[in-house]
Every structure is written in structure tokens, then in C-alpha cells.
Amino acid sequence: MPTAHFHTVADGVYCIETGLYRDGLAACYLIRAQDRLAFVDTGTTNTVPGLLGVIDTLGLTPAHVDYVIPTHVHLDHAGGAGALMAACANAMLIAHPKGAPHLIDPAKLTAGATAVYGEAAFARDFGALTPVPESRVVAAADGQTFDLAGRTLTFIDTPGHANHHGSIFDAGSGGLFTGDTFGISYRDFDTAAGPWLFAPTTPVAFDPDAWQQSLDRMLAYAPRAAFLTHYCRIDDPAAHADKLRQSITDLADIALAHADAPAAARKDRIKQAVTAHLLADARAHGCALTDAQMQDLLAVDLELNAQGLEVWLQRREKRGG
């Protein structure tokens, strides 16, 4: 059985490499309390055999998994949820109420992701999505708690990156599993100034105002760490929150600055501006990588951020600004 690369990042918390595109791009997490397990995010369908291998390496079985908790239904976070649930017969899936229906019936999720990534890339990178039986899905309420062998996990409604995004506060580690709501921070960009963060404005529900409010709610838990899907642990989230808040504002401003550009050229112009902004910001943070190296590491994000900002502008136009 293959085993995904994983390591301990807190008491009873393992960061697992999902293998999407390149090492160090996307993670998911396994929480262990005694012999009970909970996954937060799952990676893609292709990730699931490696996750089962991690369970085996820990000397446990899929029967020990109580919860599978995708932070939201974007496929790098939830694509493997159905396959993982099929392998873990005792588990319940915990999801945001707006995301749960798409995991029960993933047809629209498949269609939407295929439109974003293209049919060939979708099949290669994400695989087929397995439906989750409705009887095994809990649409979590904001503030709802879940018991993992005496370890309390709290679901927090955190829209902004997506309107179906939830984060998890783990009382055992004092950490927040933030999905994409605490931004992206690849370890390749760490410098003496610490981690470099930026906001992922991925299609289709970027909402800068809601995102700022979600950060307020998350920081109210006074977390000791943030466990990012992209990528791994960030200590003292409160110390980095202003940087993320500025990134949300800066990227929204870039989109607005191009709002009057010709429709056929607007997304490409936004991408060029986002690329220039993020490279300059990383350089100001002390990053010593070349521009080419940074663009290679950020290639997926630059395209998705531009797509998401274009969709945000379209939504603003439909509702009159």
C-alpha cells in the first residue's frame, strides 16, 4: 500500500502531502486522539490510497476514522472525500451546508471544475468524484462542535475565499485548520522575515468584505497556529493577519483597476498585474528566488487568481457595481 509523505506538526496532528502538481503545494491533515482519527481536507481522488497508507503506518485501520472534514468543495481540498468515505465505513462527513449537496451529488462540481481546468487536466489531476451517501453527511452549523475521543473540534463558517468555506478549531492543539481562508504560504518563499502569505482569489465566490470578517472570527479563537492546505503550519497567525488582509485588498484593487478593460483582454491583463504584484511583494519580503522560479512555483495560483478576480468583476457588474 502506498503511503503519502507526512510529518507531525502538533500534538496529534499530521500534515500529509497530497501530491497535487508538485510537492509542497497542497496538504491535508490527520488529527489523532487516542485511536480515533479525523481528516481535515482530503486532496484528490488520487491522494486517497496514500492517506490509507498513512493510517496503516500509524498502526490503525480505516475503521478508526470518525470524521472526514473538507474545508470547502474545491477539488484540491475535497476531491477525494467520496473515495475516502467509501473506504472509511464508520466515518461521517462534516461539511458546510452550502458545500454538502455537492459532495452528495458531485455532478455540478465535476462540471464546474472541468470548465475551469479543462476535461483532460481534470481527469488526470483529480480523477472521478465519488458521491457520499446523504445519510453519512452532516451539514455543520456555525460553532457546532464534534467530539474526537474527548478532543473538541469546532466548525467555523468562514466565507470569503468561497461561500461554502468552513474552518476547524482544534482545542487539542490550539490550532486552526484554515483551508484557504488564511491564505497561501508556500515554504519555498520563507525568508528571515518569516512566511510570505497571499490571498487565493480562486473562482467563483471571492468576497473581500466577507473574508475580512472571517479573519476576525478566526482570530477570536486566539489560535497558536494555522494549518494551511497551501502549505503546512504557520505559527502565531495573529502576527501575519495584517499581511493577509492587505493581500485581499490589493488583489481586489487590481481587479477594480482593470474593470473597464475590453472584455476579451481583461482576464489576461488582470493576470499580468497579479503576477507583477505578487513577484514584487515576494521580493520585498526578501525572497531570493528568480522571477522565473517564482512564476513556476506560482503558476497555478496566478491563473486561478486571475480567473477568480474576473468572475468577481462580472458578478459586481450584474448587480450594478
Q: What is the mean pLDDT of residues 107-130?
A: 86
Q: What is the pLDDT of residues 34-75, one digit of tens each?
A: 999 999 999 999 999 999 999 999 999 999 999 999 999 999
pLDDT band at 104 (very low <50, low <70, confident <90, very high): very high
> What is the secondary structure of 248-269 as a DSSP string?
HHHHHHHHHHTTTS-HHHHHHH
User: If you compute the radius of gyration of the chain from its CA atoms, what whole number of angstroms results?
Assistant: 19
pLDDT above 70 for 321: no
Count of C-beta atoms within a 10 Å radius of residue 96: 27
For residue 49, with 0-12 CB atoms within 10 Å meaning exposed, 13-18 middle and 19 or more buried, which class applies?
middle
* Residues sharing a CB contact under 8 Å with residue 152, sequence separation 6 or more, in sequence order: 145, 146, 170, 171, 172
Sign of the dihedral defined by the CA atoms of residues 311, 18, 226, 109, in that order: positive
Q: What is the pLDDT of residues 77-103, one digit of tens each?
A: 999 999 999 999 999 999 999 999 999
Are 172 and 11 spatial neighbours (Cβ–Cβ below 8 Å)? yes
Q: Average pLDDT, whole number, for the chain?
A: 96
Q: What is the pLDDT of residues 257-267, one digit of tens each?
A: 999 999 889 99
191: which strand partners?
194
At 285, list the grid cell: 519580503
Upper half-sphere CA count for residue 194 (Cβ side, 13 Å): 10
- Going across the sheet that includes 166-170, the strands are 145-148, 151-157, 166-170, 175-179, 225-228, 232-235
Q: What is the pLDDT of residues 212-260, one digit of tens each?
A: 999 999 999 999 999 999 999 999 999 999 999 999 999 999 999 999 9
Every domain of the chain and the residues it spans: 6-141+150-241, 244-318
Q: In the CATH scheme, what is the code of domain 6-141+150-241?
A: 3.60.15.10
Q: What is the mean pLDDT of residues 257-280?
A: 96
In the prediction, which pLDDT does 220 show? Answer: 98
In the prediction, which pLDDT does 119 show? Answer: 87
Taking the complete model, does pTM exceed 0.85, yes or no? yes
* Distance (Å, whole) CA 48 – CA 37: 15
92 φ, ψ to 5°? -110, 145
Position 159, amino acid: P
* Distance (Å, whole) CA 204 – CA 46: 24
Count of C-beta atoms within a 10 Å radius of residue 273: 18
pLDDT above 70 for 193: yes
In the prediction, which pLDDT does 318 show? Answer: 87
pLDDT above 90 for 10: yes
pLDDT above 70 for 21: yes
- Per cent of the chain over pLDDT 70 is 100
Upper half-sphere CA count for residue 190 (Cβ side, 13 Å): 10
Are 69 and 168 spatial neighbours (Cβ–Cβ below 8 Å)? yes
pLDDT band at 122 (very low <50, low <70, confident <90, very high): confident
